[in-house]
Amino acid sequence: MKITLLGTGTSQGVPVIGCNCDACTSVDSRDVRSRCSVLVQSAETQIVVDVGPDFRNQMLKAKVNKLDAVFLTHEHNDHIIGLDDLRPLLFRNKNGIKIHAESRVIKDIQKRFEYAFIPQPYPGAPTFVVNNILDGEMIKVGDIEILPLRVIHGQLPILGFRIGDFAYLTDTNQIPDSTFEQLNGLKVLVIDALRERPHHSHFSIQEAIEAVNKISPDSAYFTHISHLLGPTSTWEKDLPKDIFPSYDGQEFVL
Ligand SMILES: [Zn+2]
Ligand SMILES: [Zn+2]
Ligand SMILES: [Zn+2]
């Protein structure tokens, strides 16, 4: 299984439009962070978690020509607004590309992409097939098994995903005990770490380190990074052993 971090930046991306801070003007390629998304590929199956505003460029960069399923963590704009750009992949895949999400999230995308769900959409509109998922209930897509896990994002209960020995917990500042129990024996954990100071809906660096220590994966990678953290090279050196910054395009083979 190959996992590619397509995007590792917070909702505005890095660089931020009009910002001249050290992170936004950095020449380190790791400081160019598109909005969060992950591609998971096995020999026969390809799935993506979250479809944000940078989805089209992410698909072109990763040279994806087929997707079997989309999983959504939650309905915030930076995780769903690229759904219309699924069209070339929908037209190519006669079996359809199911969108798996919690019922609240599905209701939200039915409102925001209403034109795709009306009885007679205009020619060329995407046709989304949706599927309700629940935390703790394993889903199988081709030869990939995905376990949705409950995490809390401010006031919003959202989903993280465990796929084999890999787990992806973006947009969270609280992990319920029942989820910690399902994160044993991970090789790779990708987890939200927005910035230095606490935030109402994202882990700070220190909070993320505490969560990683509790989960104790072989290695952990921080995502949903804000420019407020500064250039990657300035904060990566302070991270504990086996915790690393992520970057767009980073691959794991598990
Ligand atoms: Zn987000
Ligand atoms: Zn900046
Ligand atoms: Zn969010």
CA of 16 to the centre of ligand 2 (A): 5
Give, in degrees to the nearest 5, the angle at Cα 195 between 192 and 199: 80
Ion ligand 3 neighbours, Cβ < 5 Å: 76, 171
pLDDT digits (tens, 9 = 90+) for 122-177: 999 999 999 999 999 999 999 999 999 999 999 999 999 999 999 999 999 999 99
- The upper half-sphere exposure of residue 216, i.e. CA atoms within 13 Å in the direction of its Cβ, equals 4
pLDDT at 7: 98
pTM: 0.97
Q: Which residues in the chain come in under a pLDDT of 70?
A: none
Strand extents, DSSP E, the chain: 2-7, 37-41, 46-49, 69-71, 98-101, 129-132, 139-141, 144-153, 156-163, 166-169, 188-192, 219-223, 243-245, 250-253
Beta-carbon contacts of residue 241 (< 8 Å; ≥ 6 apart) = none
Q: How many domains is the chain built from?
A: 1
CA of 238 to the centre of ligand 1 (A): 24
Q: What is d(CA 108, CA 249) in angstroms, rounded to the nearest whole number?
A: 29
CATH classification at residue 100: 3.60.15.10
CA of 216 to the centre of ligand 2 (A): 32
Nearest ligand, CA 228: 2
The label of the residue with tokens 């219309």 reads 84
Residue 106: alpha-carbon gap to chain centroid: 17
CA of 123 to the centre of ligand 3 (A): 32
CA of 240 to the centre of ligand 3 (A): 26
Q: Whole domain around residue 218: which residue ranges?
A: 2-253
For residue 161, the SS3 value is strand
Nearest ligand, CA 192: 1
CA of 12 to the centre of ligand 1 (A): 9
The label of the residue with tokens 């401010």 reads 154
CA of 12 to the centre of ligand 2 (A): 10
CA of 38 to the centre of ligand 1 (A): 13
Nearest ligand, CA 223: 1
CA of 75 to the centre of ligand 1 (A): 9
Give, in degrees to the nearest 5, the angle at Cα 194 between 178 and 145: 45
Residue 29: alpha-carbon gap to chain centroid: 20
Closest CA relative to residue 180, chosen from 138, 218, 214: 214
pLDDT at 96: 80
Closest CA relative to residue 202, chosen from 26, 21, 73, 30: 73
pLDDT at 95: 79
CA of 250 to the centre of ligand 3 (A): 21
- In this structure, the chain runs to a length of 254
pLDDT at 93: 85
